[in-house]
Structures are given as C-alpha cells and as structure tokens.
C-alpha cells in the first residue's frame, strides 16, 4: 500500500472479522496460487494475498455478491503483486542513484518518512471531511483501486454519478490539503 492513501479504510464500515474469515479462507488458496505464479516465492505471494484480502475487506460493504468478491480479490491480488514488484525494483535502483553517505541517507530517509506520515495524516483528515457517501466511494477508488465502472456495479450508482462524486471528493480533498499548506 505504498502509493495508496492508507488509513482511509478505518473511516467507513468494515465487515466483522468473524464474518469475513470464512470468505478469506475460501479465497486464500486461489490468491496464493496467483501470487506464486507471479513471484515464484511463497513469502511474497503471502504478502500479496494478505494485502488483497485487507483491501477486499475494506471494500466489502459495496459488493452485492460473493462472486463479485472473488473477482475483485483476484484483481486486487494482481495489483498487489505489481505494486510489490515496483517497490522491489525501486529499492534496487535507489541505492545506485543515490551517491550520499550512509549518515546523509539515513537523515534524508527519516525526514522523508516523517513528511510522508504527516502527509498521510493530512489526507486522512481531509477524507474525513467528505460526506459518508463520498468517503465510501473515495475509499473504494483509492484503497481498493476499483474503477468507476466497478464501483458503479458494486454500489448500484450510475457510472456518471460515481465519476461526478469522485471528482467532487478529489476537489474537496485538494482544497483541504491547500488549506493545510500541503499543496
């Protein structure tokens, strides 16, 4: 979830763990197989499956049927695999590109991490100012990485309305971040 808005999922309803557990157990073998075929590494496959299940859990409220959950879980696992591969690739390139000393690098990294955390908190705060309906759609879009057509199908809201609500949410978040001096 490196490039996603983390923490937003806590802002709207999630299915109880006891309800979700049997579904996760049923989906896990397929998601693990997908991750293994992508990475060839069980640990990386497990990480991808876990991330996909977490994202699925946060988006569950809007899914009309368990079959939709399975399709979305497969898509989320693919996204998680691609994200992990990109992170690995970036981690390999960054040390080569950065000619600073270890001390300078650790200070920069600490400052970057602090700034990133503060930015994430500012985004979470901005998202909390959205109306519940906008927040739900925004979370499906940003956290679960669902497309507008998928959100429309999952919620029963017209695609154009979903697009308009996401656009409004994006504008409100941007304005909140500007007020806070982040943009």
Identify the pLDDT of residue 115. Answer: 76
Identify the pLDDT of residue 63. Answer: 62
Identify the pLDDT of residue 92. Answer: 53
Q: 124 pLDDT band (50/70/90 cuts)?
A: confident
Among residues 47, 52, 54, the alpha carbon closest in space to that of 75 is found at 52
Fold of 13-97: Rna Polymerase Sigma Factor; Chain: A (1.10.1740)
Q: What is the mean pLDDT of residues 72-96?
A: 73
Q: 6 pLDDT band (50/70/90 cuts)?
A: very low
Domain with CATH 1.10.1740 in the chain: 13-97
Identify the pLDDT of residue 4. Answer: 40
Enter the tokens of residue 57: 């859990």
Q: What is the mean pLDDT of the chain?
A: 76
Domain 101-183: give its CATH architecture.
Orthogonal Bundle (1.10)
pTM here is 0.46
Domain with CATH 1.10.10.10 in the chain: 101-183
Displacement of CA 136 from its chain's centroid (Å)? 13
């Amino acid at each position: 979830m490196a490039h996603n808005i983390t923490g937003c999922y806590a802002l709207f309803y999630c299915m109880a763990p006891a309800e979700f557990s049997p579904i996760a157990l049923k989906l896990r073998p397929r998601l693990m197989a997908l991750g293994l075929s992508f990475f060839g590494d069980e640990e990386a496959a497990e990480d991808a499956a876990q991330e996909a299940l977490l994202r699925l859990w946060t988006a569950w409220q809007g899914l009309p049927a368990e079959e939709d959950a399975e399709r979305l879980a497969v898509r989320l696992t693919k996204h998680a695999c691609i994200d992990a591969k990109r992170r690995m690739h970036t981690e390999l390139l960054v040390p080569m590109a950065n000619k600073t000393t270890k001390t300078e690098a650790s200070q920069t990294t600490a400052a970057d991490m602090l700034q990133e955390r503060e930015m994430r908190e500012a985004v979470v705060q901005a998202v909390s100012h959205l109306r519940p309906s906008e927040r739900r759609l925004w979370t499906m879009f940003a956290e679960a990485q669902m497309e507008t057509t998928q959100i429309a199908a999952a919620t029963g809201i017209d695609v154009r309305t979903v697009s308009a609500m996401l656009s409004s949410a994006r504008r409100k978040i941007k304005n909140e971040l500007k007020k806070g001096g982040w943009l």
